[in-house]
Chains A and B, each alone.
Chain A
């Protein structure tokens, strides 16, 4: 913690020390904005590269607290984008391995690690947070979180990065479509997206989610060639007629869909964090529930789906 005793000065209790650190952003969103941030409690599920980026941005901004939740172990693939885990860390759990570097970013934020899988928590767990952000979960967990957060009016982000491609879903005003309306599931818990009149990025995201449900993993660099063929087959199967986007459309994308690659975790993680910040400050552009980052077109675009 800060070694100087905080001196209160009538600006919502922010210490002089804090005001110095946050000076350049207070000049953007004002003292009011910063004070709102200082109350913001975040649950962040998934501490791979994208999780690390989101955690970094929120902790730097000076939120109240963040719980880093991940029950899985550090993997070699984390090396592509996870910068909070020291190379010589003895800790096997991702959340625990990240916590020292995460806390060092800003001593004013309460950072904690949680190694329980989200499916083992009861429904009330999420209600102690203002915002829940989930990454690297199965689409089935995303669907459950979407329902629960909507019920409890907890703001939700669901984000994933596949190589250089990335997307996120957000439910901030509790009015737009739920996750499983955006990506509909059938009786066998299979995603059956409605492809017509949708942006190509939606088609690609749907195919990747279906791949995850089918194979219980994301596309993997070890099996890249086989996985690309599978993806093409999925796109073909979910695009029923000639008007739809066909597998060839994504020829330039396929070879860059493996691991969470740092340039895109950097971009998607920052847009998620900034939107979470904006939602707490009440200056959010309403009317969107999806965001896609298209690495080939250099385009980051919100949609209402």
Chain B
């Protein structure tokens, strides 16, 4: 409460601190530290919102919580803890999602300053737009392990959160996951799909095969089969790790490349004794029999949990030990079949849960800098609000907290904060439906909440359900959205609008992205040049590979083979299952956006939710291009 003590701050600053109402979005790792710093500095009119409840793994850094508060709402407990050292502040706490329609423009406009302490891009982009729309300054932040960053965002003054492209999560082709895994991560993603197929909200991304019990009956899904067999662990094991593999082996073209061919386990393995694993370290790789026991145990325990939901579904959670044991055993059993190195429980949890390491000190440093930025921003000293980066190790000058030279000006072509926001959307207008445009492109990719779309004064998509517009199942060309069409897209909730120019391009092969978004024609041309270069490089590489295969059969030396062109095209048409899935593996790059806190599962949930709505549509996420298949 420094601002209540005369002489600590200059009178103007003292008044600014006392009078400024601040919104803190997020009460996690950074949020707890920021709330403490704001209150101690003397800010006394605060609101804090968070949608999460407290978990044990938060306690190493979210110091306003303790063991007794696990399971409670972060925002409320954070408020109560802070009031213990200063009861003379007015803090309002909300348990809720900042993207909810309760928190509209009039909600945001009550604040002098907004501070983001979030852990996902979607919410960050949303708050960015809300703050731009009501012209409230925003401080954006993130940490990852030892590193972190603070950025200041103000309309017309600085870069906005979406002015520069962000790195995208890595993606994996669905056919690799289903049929030809080559790395541990492929088996981990497969295991998570399997969990959802058996216990969770099932999508069409089934990984375990349908069962044909009798020739005259229709096939039933693996889920139905499991229920019919009352989740019998031995039967489940046989189905998933023997019968399904046999099914793959029967698909002749699948394993031309010997390296990925699975090895079928003998059914005699079903009669092996129980192998205890309960006292093993989570750093150790166990033996096959222990994983089989772990698999069977986890099936029984998860089945019991499923029964308790009374017909509902389970939602996967990395912090549930039974769920994790299921993933670990399934991953390693499958890896073993495909000749992939096994991983420890500890490592699989990191990958399956997308866990970003998080420590108290990095959050505290970033939170301190956030409040210093808040002081500069409130006194309108914007040139002192440059981005600041926390480095894991000192640079050559010994600095660990490093600032940008100056506050970066807005990107004049930003599709969010510039007046002439325009985007080029390249897609195959005969294949993309209005629903895909709405849900995958506008909402998921472009982070809109309630988009309305007009073309030539016709409404194509309306956020108002009363309009009863139902063009969702039509492809774009069927409703005269073709090459050169200009779509006017508005999100009244975000007070955001953008013109989208349609650039038609036939999707010739399944490998091509379903859509790509560009800021201008120049970027589109650059992308094409890059694609041609990549394609050429790939032809050389793949020709090497396939020629090598042939020569190895005849025991020839590999290094003498010269590349020849041709013959690869056939390689790609092995199955009709070329889909790409988004495994949410964020690329880490110190200068790019960091996330708070090591609890990065939000985006996974977003994907699941989307899949529920829109069927089997997936999206790749390589920079600026995306793909989904039906």
> Which residues of A are in contact with B by a Cβ distance under 8 Å?
9-11, 19-25, 27-28, 31, 49, 53, 56-57, 60-62, 76-77, 79-87, 101, 104-107, 163-164, 220-224, 255-256, 258-259, 261-267, 269-271, 273-274, 277, 285, 288, 293, 295-304
User: Is the CB–CB distance between A267 and B8 below 8 Å?
Assistant: no
- Known contacts being A9-B279, A221-B6, is A288 close to B40, with CB within 8 Å? no
Contacts of B40 in A (CB 8 A): 49, 79-81, 83, 261-262
Contact of B372 among A11, A57, A295 (CB under 8 A): A295
- Closest A residue by C-beta to B58: A24
User: Is the CB–CB distance between A302 and B2 below 8 Å?
Assistant: no
A-B contact count (CB 8 A): 207
- Known contacts being A259-B2, A261-B41, is A271 close to B398, with CB within 8 Å? no
Docked Cα-Cα span, A266 to B373, in Å, equals 14
Contacts of B597 in A (CB 8 A): 24
User: Is the CB–CB distance between A267 and B63 below 8 Å?
Assistant: no
Within the complex, the shortest CB–CB distance from A103 to chain B, in Å, comes to 10
User: Is the CB–CB distance between A288 and B146 below 8 Å?
Assistant: no
- Scan residues 1-55 of chain B and give those whose CB is less than 8 A from a CB of chain A: 1-2, 4-10, 33, 36-37, 40-41
User: Is the CB–CB distance between B9 and A255 below 8 Å?
Assistant: yes
Contacts of B84 in A (CB 8 A): 86-87, 101
User: Is the CB–CB distance between B403 and A299 below 8 Å?
Assistant: yes
User: Is the CB–CB distance between A80 and B60 below 8 Å?
Assistant: no
User: Is the CB–CB distance between A27 and B369 below 8 Å?
Assistant: no
Contacts of A86 in B (CB 8 A): 84-85
User: Is the CB–CB distance between A28 and B146 below 8 Å?
Assistant: yes
- Closest B residue by C-beta to A304: B398
Q: For the A-B complex with A266-B367, A270-B368, A298-B403 known, give 4 more contacts whose Cβ atoms are closer than 8 Å.
A: A19-B282, A24-B355, A25-B359, A80-B8
Within the complex, the shortest CB–CB distance from B22 to chain A, in Å, comes to 14
Contact of B8 among A10, A28, A106, A259 (CB under 8 A): A259
- Known contacts being A104-B66, A262-B2, A293-B401, is A274 close to B9, with CB within 8 Å? no
Docked Cα-Cα span, A295 to B372, in Å, equals 8
Contact of A56 among B86, B360, B399 (CB under 8 A): B360
Instruction: Decide yes or no whether B393 CB sits under 8 A from chain A.
Output: yes
Instruction: Decide yes or no whether B388 CB sits under 8 A from chain A.
Output: yes
User: Is the CB–CB distance between A80 and B5 below 8 Å?
Assistant: yes
Contacts of A267 in B (CB 8 A): 364-365, 368-369, 401
Contact of B5 among A22, A76, A101 (CB under 8 A): A76
- Closest A residue by C-beta to B86: A87
Q: List 15 A-B contacts (CB under 8 A).
A: A24-B60, A24-B359, A53-B364, A60-B63, A79-B2, A79-B5, A80-B2, A80-B8, A87-B84, A87-B87, A107-B67, A267-B365, A267-B369, A300-B365, A302-B400
- Known contacts being A77-B5, A270-B368, is A24 close to B86, with CB within 8 Å? no
User: Is the CB–CB distance between B364 and A269 below 8 Å?
Assistant: yes
Within the complex, the shortest CB–CB distance from A11 to chain B, in Å, comes to 5
Contact of B371 among A79, A263, A277 (CB under 8 A): A263
- Known contacts being A27-B357, A255-B9, is A60 close to B61, with CB within 8 Å? yes
- Closest A residue by C-beta to B55: A20
User: Is the CB–CB distance between A221 and B401 below 8 Å?
Assistant: no
Contacts of B6 in A (CB 8 A): 221-222
- Known contacts being A31-B283, A261-B41, A299-B403, is A24 close to B61, with CB within 8 Å? yes
Pick from A24, A49, A79 the residue with the most CB of B within 10 Å: A24
Contacts of B33 in A (CB 8 A): 266
- Scan residues 347-381 of chain B and give those whose CB is less than 8 A from a CB of chain A: 350, 355-362, 364-365, 367-372, 375
User: Is the CB–CB distance between B368 and A264 below 8 Å?
Assistant: yes
- Closest A residue by C-beta to B347: A27
- Closest A residue by C-beta to B62: A60
Contacts of A264 in B (CB 8 A): 368, 372
- Known contacts being A255-B10, A262-B371, is A62 close to B60, with CB within 8 Å? yes
Pick from B37, B40, B282, B598 the residue with the most CB of A within 10 Å: B40
Instruction: Decide yes or no whether B397 CB sits under 8 A from chain A.
Output: yes
Contacts of B365 in A (CB 8 A): 266-267, 270-271, 300
Instruction: Decide yes or no whether B468 CB sits under 8 A from chain A.
Output: no
User: Is the CB–CB distance between A9 and B280 below 8 Å?
Assistant: yes
User: Is the CB–CB distance between A61 and B359 below 8 Å?
Assistant: yes
Within the complex, the shortest CB–CB distance from A275 to chain B, in Å, comes to 9
Docked Cα-Cα span, A85 to B362, in Å, equals 23
Pick from A60, A84, A261 the residue with the most CB of B within 10 Å: A261
- Scan residues 524-583 of chain B and give those whose CB is less than 8 A from a CB of chain A: none
- Scan residues 250-276 of chain B and give those whose CB is less than 8 A from a CB of chain A: none
Within the complex, the shortest CB–CB distance from B28 to chain A, in Å, comes to 11
User: Is the CB–CB distance between B8 and A303 below 8 Å?
Assistant: no
Docked Cα-Cα span, A258 to B386, in Å, equals 24
- Closest B residue by C-beta to A14: B281
- Closest B residue by C-beta to A23: B57
Contacts of A270 in B (CB 8 A): 360-362, 364-365, 368
Instruction: Decide yes or no whether B56 CB sits under 8 A from chain A.
Output: yes
Contacts of A107 in B (CB 8 A): 67
Contacts of A274 in B (CB 8 A): 146, 359, 361-362
User: Is the CB–CB distance between B85 and A22 below 8 Å?
Assistant: no
Contacts of B4 in A (CB 8 A): 79
Instruction: Decide yes or no whether B145 CB sits under 8 A from chain A.
Output: yes
Instruction: Decide yes or no whether B59 CB sits under 8 A from chain A.
Output: yes
Docked Cα-Cα span, A301 to B393, in Å, equals 11
- Scan residues 72-113 of chain B and give those whose CB is less than 8 A from a CB of chain A: 84-87
- Counting from the closest, the 7 A-B pairs by CB-CB distance are A221-B7, A300-B401, A266-B368, A262-B40, A28-B357, A267-B368, A302-B398
Contacts of B279 in A (CB 8 A): 9-10
- Known contacts being A53-B364, A221-B6, is A298 close to B386, with CB within 8 Å? yes
- Closest A residue by C-beta to B374: A263
User: Is the CB–CB distance between B372 and A21 below 8 Å?
Assistant: no
Docked Cα-Cα span, A22 to B364, in Å, equals 17
Docked Cα-Cα span, A61 to B364, in Å, equals 13
- Closest B residue by C-beta to A296: B384
Instruction: Decide yes or no whether B499 CB sits under 8 A from chain A.
Output: no
- Closest A residue by C-beta to B7: A221
Pick from A11, A80, A224 the residue with the most CB of B within 10 Å: A80
Within the complex, the shortest CB–CB distance from A157 to chain B, in Å, comes to 14
Within the complex, the shortest CB–CB distance from B32 to chain A, in Å, comes to 10
Instruction: Decide yes or no whether B394 CB sits under 8 A from chain A.
Output: yes
Within the complex, the shortest CB–CB distance from A261 to chain B, in Å, comes to 6
Within the complex, the shortest CB–CB distance from B42 to chain A, in Å, comes to 8
Contacts of B384 in A (CB 8 A): 296, 298
Docked Cα-Cα span, A263 to B279, in Å, equals 45
User: Is the CB–CB distance between A288 and B398 below 8 Å?
Assistant: yes
Task: Mark interface residues in B454-485 (1 if CB within 8 Å of A CB, else 0).
Answer: 00000000000000000000000000000000
Within the complex, the shortest CB–CB distance from A284 to chain B, in Å, comes to 10
